[in-house]
Amino acid sequence: MANTVTDVSRTALVRRARKIDRVLGETYPDAKCELDFDNAFELLVVTVLSAQTTDKRVNAVRPTLFAAYPDAKAMAAADREKLETIIGPLGFFRAKTESLLKLSAALVEHYDGEVPPRLDDLVKLPGVGRKTANVVLGNAFGIPGITVDTHFGRLARRFGWTELTDPVKAEHAIGELFPKRDWTMLSHHLIWHGRRICHAKKPACGACPVARWCPSYGEGPTDAEVAAKLVRTEGRA
């Protein structure tokens, strides 16, 4: 016989989680990947570059980068010093240059310069983990994926969807709460909310559209006027 309490609790969790996602979807109707890109190769590269820096900085160097190296074949043959100069403003430029050269070379060698639309293939590429792979699959190929970045993981725990801190385990646990078709937009909704209202150190609880369903309500200021001053109109990270 099924554990009734567990079943009821699970059902309530799923309903609450999906309600939060619906409200966040209404709050952020324009939510999307905040990295600029024109194709799968560009998205893969800018996602790799976005580590330890902001999307805004990556977007700033993107035009120069892809004017010089528009595809994997061109980037694989890039002059290391020139490539380092272009991405220098992003920090960790030597390590990132190495990643881009190896990544592009692998694409040329194994996939004729094209980005493969499969998770198992993407995560075998140098410098590409599940987070990056899911960003590319969801936004370049329309294949649902959950992107567990720092914002997503933090909010999922605050919402009580999971206590897991391991990104892969959290991805699977949260994926069970939502239809697969919703995974990509769910990721955008949480990331946008995390960048604008549900901040790491001081969440704007008093200005939060999902406060009534959040078990962590009160971690930040609940006064509406105080909270309103913490709201960002654009994401910073």
Q: Report the percentage of the chain scoring pLDDT > 90.
A: 94
Per-residue confidence (pLDDT) for residue 84, from 0 to 100? 97
**Residue 96 a catalytic site member:** no
Query: Could you say which of 124, 131, 180, 223 is catalytic?
Result: 131
Res 114 pLDDT > 70: yes
Per-residue confidence (pLDDT) for residue 39, from 0 to 100? 98
**Cα–Cα distance between 229 and 231 in angstroms, integer?**
6
What are the structural domains, with CATH classification, of the chain? 4-30+148-228 (1.10.1670.10), 40-140 (1.10.340.30)
Residues 6+ apart with CB under 8 A from 122: 44, 115, 116, 128, 132, 133, 136, 137
**Residue 7 a catalytic site member:** no
| Residue among 118, 103, 109, 110 nearest 41 (CA) | 103
Per-residue confidence (pLDDT) for residue 1, from 0 to 100? 37
Q: How confident is the model at residue 234 (pLDDT cuts 50, 70, 90)?
A: confident
Q: Report the percentage of the chain scoring pLDDT > 70.
A: 95
Q: How many CA atoms lie within 13 A of 89 on its CB side?
A: 12
Per-residue confidence (pLDDT) for residue 122, from 0 to 100? 98
Query: Could you say which of 21, 55, 96, 149 is catalytic?
Result: 149
Per-residue confidence (pLDDT) for residue 233, from 0 to 100? 85
Per-residue confidence (pLDDT) for residue 3, from 0 to 100? 40
